[in-house]
Amino acid sequence: MPNRIYAQYADKPKAVAWYGITPTIADEVESAYEAVRMSYDIDSAVGEQLDVIGRIVVIDRGFESFVVFDPDTYFGGSGDACQFGGVDSQFESAGDVLSQEVSDAIFRVLIRAKIAKNNSDASLDGVVDALSYITSSSPIRVVDNEDMTFSVSFGSELTDIERFVFNTFDIVPRPQGVEFLGYIEETAITQFGGSFSWGDTRANFGLYFGA
């Protein structure tokens, strides 16, 4: 800007100030724009900022879980269940449904999952794209069992938070009427030589080739 001031006005404070109006306002607008843009960044937002993003995608921190109380305290015995009378008379360990709120780290994964689920077409490629957005795992494979069920194989280990979210919440996109059976992390697969089978025809152990 100083180079664009006419020479005869270069030493005039008011002229210099007038020429500086546009870049000064532009700097303020840019700062405000960046602040607004970064406020919607899922990875850097915290606290109330994350709550705002959650309200935009229509999800909150609250969830309910069933907590099992200590059986020794309530029944005076050990184990997860106590029996009184005949074999059909049993008392399970006492518990209660508790309302809780997730942490920022978990909420970030849930927000990503909600965005991915809202924008997924639930095709095989769509599920892979959604899970790639939710997790840091790669590669990701969808196993179509051709009986209205499918499962997911992660090529690398999930984080503890990602694993908790998958085990606790329903976040995997799927077509109407199709059942999600679960997931595996390929780094945890045990390698066998030859071919082995337990259970139904889909339960197989065989040679595993991978990283």
Closest CA to 134 of 169, 171, 103, 183: 171
Whether residues 146 and 179 share a domain: the answer is yes
The total domain count for the chain is 3
Whether residues 200 and 117 share a domain: the answer is yes
* Other beta carbons less than 10 A from residue 176's beta carbon: 5
Q: What does the pLDDT read at residue 161? A: 92
Whether residues 128 and 190 share a domain: the answer is yes
Is residue 57 domain-resident? no
Residue 82's H or E segment, with its range, is strand 81-83
**Alpha helices (H) along the chain:** 13-19, 21-39, 48-57, 71-75, 104-119, 124-134, 160-168
How confident is the chain (211 residues) per 10-residue block, as mean pLDDT? 70 82 85 78 88 90 66 52 59 63 91 92 92 90 90 90 91 90 77 54 48 34
d(CA 170, CA 23): 50
Whether residues 78 and 140 share a domain: the answer is no
Is residue 55 domain-resident? no
Q: Is the pTM above the cut of 0.95?
A: no
| Residues 210 and 180 sit within 8 Å (Cβ to Cβ) | no
Give me the domain span that covers residue 9. Answer: 2-39
Q: What does the pLDDT read at residue 209? A: 43
Is residue 167 domain-resident? yes
Is residue 52 domain-resident? no
Is residue 175 domain-resident? yes
Whether residues 114 and 169 share a domain: the answer is yes
Q: What does the pLDDT read at residue 208? A: 45
Task: Give the tokens for residue 133.
Answer: 């957005």
